[in-house]
Amino acid sequence: MVESDIVRVALRFVNEINRHDVLALLAMISNDHVFVDSQGQELRGRDRLADAWTTYFGRFPDYRIVIEDHMQWGVVVGLFGTASGTLRGPSGEVPPPNRWKIPAAWKVIVRNGRIERWQVFADNEAVRRITEAARAAAP
């Protein structure tokens, strides 16, 4: 695979995340795909990943990644930018106080045109504060 194709695959994955298209995401991952969150927790298996992405998009219905820069080292792509979203309220509303935007980076390994590893690096403290405040305010 040509190196520029590797970057294109990683950026297409971001596009599918931004479209919240879980089926497209699953179609792009390898059989041995691993998702690593910002806490270092790993998820494997299509069913677990489908549930995780579906749940996340449900909690943050406007979740979006903006890539400002990228670098490539062979099959590894580094993506740098921001992640943002709004925590959905208990009755389905998306209140402005629940909005967050954080700097983030992603390590992506692409082999044979598929995403083998998607690893997130971000300080999610702002997201945790909003989530905890919403839990505390819930009846």
Cα–Cα distance measured from residue 123 to residue 113, given in angstroms and rounded to the nearest whole number: 29
Q: What is the per-residue pLDDT across 11-57, written as a single tens digit (0 to 9) for each?
A: 999 999 999 999 999 999 999 999 999 999 999 999 999 999 999 99
* Phi and psi, residue 90, nearest 5°: -65, -25
Per-residue model confidence (pLDDT) at position 130: 85
Fold category of 3-137 in CATH: Nuclear Transport Factor 2; Chain: A, (3.10.450)
Domain boundaries, the chain: 3-137
- The confidence score (pLDDT) of residue 115 equals 98
Measured distance CA(121)–CA(1) in Å, rounded? 26
What confidence tens digit (pLDDT) does each residue in 74-104 have?
999 999 999 999 999 888 888 888 999 999 9
